[in-house]
Amino acid sequence: MKKKKNLIKMSVITGLLLTGSSVLGGSINVMAANPANYKDMTEYSSYESIINYESIKAENSSPYTDVSVALYDIDQDGTKELILSHGTCLADWVNDIYTLKDGKYVSQIGTIGSQGMFYTAPDGNGIYFLYGFQGYQEINRITKSGENITEILIESRELGANENYTEFDNKIELLTPDSIPTGNATSTYNVQVTAPDGGVNMRCGAGAEYDKVLPDMIPNGTMLTVTQEAVASNGNSWGYTNYNGTYGWIALTQVTKYEEPTEGAPIPHTRYVINCNESITLRTNPDVNAAEICQIPLGTAVATFGDAGNGFISVYYQGSSGYCLASYLSDPVD
């Protein structure tokens, strides 16, 4: 975990006077602040095993090791990198940097030594790393190209008697994993696997293009807890969940949202759409002339709640309650 890889360090300017976020001078567009709700970011789930591993190792170490993390897109290519900062003191502190190769595979691409502060670079080209100790400071620009991290020293000097350490706008917050706020996280909810082909695959990312993290499908009838949602490239919704200690993403089209029935409420049963060419109609009332709510594709699993009369059955599908003709639904499978 500590091995330095693909890290190039170059001292290009020494003694360059920097004041605040005006380092580059001139007319530039200052980068916006980096949001700190890291757990809501799609990349977090891919990095979570690394974060958990370091956190568990830290808890069992002596002396105790602190661990904090941040996610930021260093090269602005659309994929956020992981900064994993850990150590017991200044002497052994390091900041490991990870990225997602091909947007899928976690790869450590460098290590920045010392404990310090990270800022977004004012011109968007990488990030700034500031190290300060007993009146001495170093400022480095960290850039990424492919799977290579370059560290360029842009200042190294002793501060004046009344001079403060340099500060920049838009600090990248390093937070302990258990203190990361969630700004757009989906409320946790339970689902039951009700897939037409008998189960759902768990993948390392939100989309069918990502690799499976389990060799076998999670079978129908399994109850899972969804803690995050993301939209795949094809527009379908995916949920982040845990199955027997393995974390990953599942297609929400293959599950049914489960709510504990209240006392006296009908118990739902899973049925599948059959006997049609493409889809059937979910209607507002048990009548063929009632308004259409949506179409339910052939082979889709739905939750049903019993006979509604007039040849219809009460159906719950993707957040909508309505009625479908019973002749287009299979017998209960649970």
Q: What is the pLDDT of residues 254-294, one digit of tens each?
A: 888 776 655 666 678 889 999 999 999 999 889 999 888 88
Is the predicted pLDDT of residue 223 greater than 70, yes or no?
yes
Per-residue confidence (pLDDT) for residue 7, from 0 to 100: 44
HSE, CB side, 13 Å, CA atoms: give it for residue 39.
19
Please answer whether residues 71 and 97 qualify as being in contact, where contact means their C-beta atoms are separated by less than 8 angstroms. no
| Order of all β-strands in the sheet with 237-243 | 228-231, 237-243, 246-251
How many other β-carbons are positioned within 10 Å of the β-carbon of residue 270?
Answer: 18
Phi, psi of 254 (to 5 degrees): -105, 10
Q: Which domains does the chain have, with CATH numbers?
A: 7-179 (no CATH), 189-258 (2.30.30.40), 269-328 (2.30.30.40)
Distance CA 1, CA 195 (A): 39
Is the predicted pLDDT of residue 42 greater than 70, yes or no?
yes
pTM confidence score:
0.53
Is the predicted pLDDT of residue 22 greater than 90, yes or no?
no
Tell me the pLDDT tens digit for each residue of 149-203. Answer: 999 999 999 988 888 888 888 889 999 988 887 655 556 788 888 887 888 999 8
Q: Decide: helix, strand or coil at residue 151.
A: strand
